[in-house]
Amino acid sequence: MRLKVLVFLLFAVFISACIQAPQNNMTSSNAPQGNKPADPGKKVKIGFAMATVKEERWQRDRVAFEDHCKKMNVECVITVADNKADKQANDVENLLTQGIDVLVIAPQDATQAASMVEKAKAQNIPVISYDRLINSDKLDLYISHQVPVIGRKIAEYALKNAPEGNYVMVYGAGTDNNAVIMKKEQLAVLQPAIDSGKIKIVADNFITDWKPEEALKMAENALTQNGDNIKAFVVSNDGMAGGVIAALEKRGLAGKILVTGQDAQKDALQRIAEGKQTMTVYKPIIPLASGAVEAAIKLAKKETLADAKPFTTKQGDKDLTVPSILLEVTVVDKDNLLTTVIKDGYVTFEDVYANVPADKRPAKP
C-alpha cells in the first residue's frame, strides 16, 4: 500500500512540473516589451524637421546633414516646412510615427516648436534644436554657432566703420530666437554710441521669415523718410542684405552705405567682392551638420555629450538654460575673402569674383 502511495505522489509531482515549465520559460514574443533588449545591430534613424531650404545656406545644411548620415551609416528622414509652423508641426508628428530614434528640429517658430519637443519627449525620443533655439527646457541639445557673438560682431563692425550717423536695424523673424538674441547683443554694443548721440537709429523692425522682399521695402521706406541720409544698414542675414542692396541700387547708393550680413552665402560674397555689401559672418556649415548628426547618434545610444555646455538666454521674464554646443564664427569682408571662405574651400575664387573684371581681381592663391 505504501508503495502505491509513493508511486502516486511521484507521478503527481512529475505532472505538476510539466504543467509549470512553460510559465518559467516565456518566449521573447510573449515577454513584456519593456524588458526587450535593444538590437545592437539596428541602424540609428534620425528625423530632421527643417523650417526651410529656400536660402542657399539651408540648402548647404541639408546636403551636409545627409552626407554625414551616409558617412556614419545611419538613416535620416528630412522634412521641409516651407516656412510654415503648422506644416512643421505636422512634419514632426509624421516623423514620430516612423520609428525615429532622435528628432532634430530647425524651428520655424521657436515657441510653437516647444510643443513638438513635448510630443517627442512623451515617446522618450531625444530632441536636438538645430541652429535656431527652441523655447523649451526639455531639449537634449542646442547646437548652433555663437549667436550672441554673431550679433556683437555685426554691430562692432558697423560701429567701427560707420561711427556716426543714422542707422537702420533690420532684424530677422521675431518668431526666431536667433533674431531676438542678435537684436539684444547688437543694441548692447550700440547703446553707448546711441546715448552719446553719435549714432541714431531711425528705423528698426523684425522681418517676417527673414524675407528679402520685406527688407527691400523697409530699406526703401527708411531711405525715403530720411532723404537717403543713412550711414549703415545693420542687417542680420545675407538674404535680407540682398533686399536692402536692391533698394540701394535703385538709388545709385550701392557701395556707398555700409550693409552687414550673416551666413556667407555665395551671392553675398560676390556682393562683397564687388563692393556692394560690406561684410558677412562666416559660419562653417559642415561642422554644424556633422556635429548634429554625431550628437544624435550618441543620444540614440544613450551616451553622454561631453562637449555640451550650459547656454542661458532670456525667455520672457525667466532664464532658459539648455545644454549646447556653439561653434565659432568669422567676420568676412573684402580684405579677407581669400584667407577665409576661399582658403577653406567653402566657395571658389572663380565664384566669388565672377562679377569682378579680371583686371580688378586680386591674384589667385
Q: What is the pLDDT of residues 129-144, one digit of tens each?
A: 999 999 999 999 999 9
Q: Does residue 111 lie in a domain region?
A: yes
The pairing of strands 258-259 and 279-282 is unpaired
Q: Does residue 33 lie in a domain region?
A: no
- 265 pLDDT exceeds 50? yes
Question: Are 124 and 253 within one domain?
Answer: no
Q: What is the mean pLDDT of residues 164-185?
A: 96
Question: Are 191 and 98 within one domain?
Answer: no
> What is d(CA 334, CA 356) in angstroms, rounded to the nearest whole number?
12
| Closest to 326 (Cα-Cα) out of 182, 168, 147 | 147
Cβ neighbours of residue 363 under 8 Å, at least 6 residues apart? none
Question: Are 84 and 194 within one domain?
Answer: no
> What is d(CA 95, CA 103) in angstroms, rounded to the nearest whole number?
8
Q: How would DSSP label each residue in 345-363?
A: TSS-HHHHTTTS-GGGSPP
pLDDT at 41: 66
- 43 pLDDT exceeds 50? yes
Q: Does residue 251 lie in a domain region?
A: yes
From residue 90, alpha-carbon distances to 16, 110, 163, 208 in Å are 56, 15, 47, 21
| Closest to 297 (Cα-Cα) out of 97, 93, 69, 82 | 69
What is the share, in percent, of the chain residues with pLDDT greater than 90?
A: 86
Question: Are 245 and 307 within one domain?
Answer: no
Please tell me the least confidently modeled range out of 39-43, 159-163, 265-269. 39-43
Q: Does residue 12 lie in a domain region?
A: no
Q: What is the mean pLDDT of residues 254-265?
A: 97
pLDDT at 317: 79
Question: Are 98 and 134 within one domain?
Answer: yes
**Range of the structural domain that residue 193 is part of:** 147-283+330-360
Question: Are 235 and 291 within one domain?
Answer: no
Question: Are 58 and 125 within one domain?
Answer: yes
**Residues 103 and 95: beta-carbon distance below 8 Å:** yes
- 23 pLDDT exceeds 60? no
Q: What is the mean pLDDT of residues 321-344?
A: 97
Q: Does residue 3 lie in a domain region?
A: no
pLDDT at 314: 82
Question: Are 159 and 216 within one domain?
Answer: yes
pLDDT at 176: 95
C-alpha cell at 231: 550711414
Q: Does residue 87 lie in a domain region?
A: yes
Please state, as a whole number, how many other Cβ atoms lie within 10 Å of the Cβ of residue 19: 8
Q: How would DSSP label each residue in 71-89?
A: HTT-EEEEEE-TT-HHHHH
> Please, which pLDDT band fits residue 365 given cuts at 50, 70 and 90?
confident
Q: Does residue 11 lie in a domain region?
A: no
Question: Are 111 and 141 within one domain?
Answer: yes
pLDDT at 318: 87
Question: Are 257 and 186 within one domain?
Answer: yes
Amino acid at 308: A
Cβ neighbours of residue 58 under 8 Å, at least 6 residues apart? 50, 51, 52, 106
Question: Are 153 and 279 within one domain?
Answer: yes
> Please, which pLDDT band fits residue 39 given cuts at 50, 70 and 90?
low
pLDDT at 40: 60
Through-space distance between the first and last CA atoms of the chain, rounded to whole angstroms: 109
Give buried/exposed letters for 213-239 (b at 16+ CB in 10 A, else e). ebbbebbbebbeeeeeebbbbbbbbbb
- 324 pLDDT exceeds 80? yes
Q: In whole numbers, what is the pLDDT of the chain averaged over residues? A: 90
For CA atoms 9, 10, 13, 14, the dihedral sign is negative
C-alpha cell at 129: 534644436
pLDDT at 36: 36
- 209 pLDDT exceeds 60? yes
Q: Does residue 134 lie in a domain region?
A: yes
Please tell me the least confidently modeled range out of 62-66, 129-133, 139-143, 310-314. 310-314
pLDDT at 145: 97
Question: Are 139 and 160 within one domain?
Answer: no
Q: What is the CATH number of the domain that holds 108?
A: 3.40.50.2300
- 359 pLDDT exceeds 70? yes
pLDDT at 34: 32
The total number of structural domains in the chain stands at 2
Amino acid at 265: Q
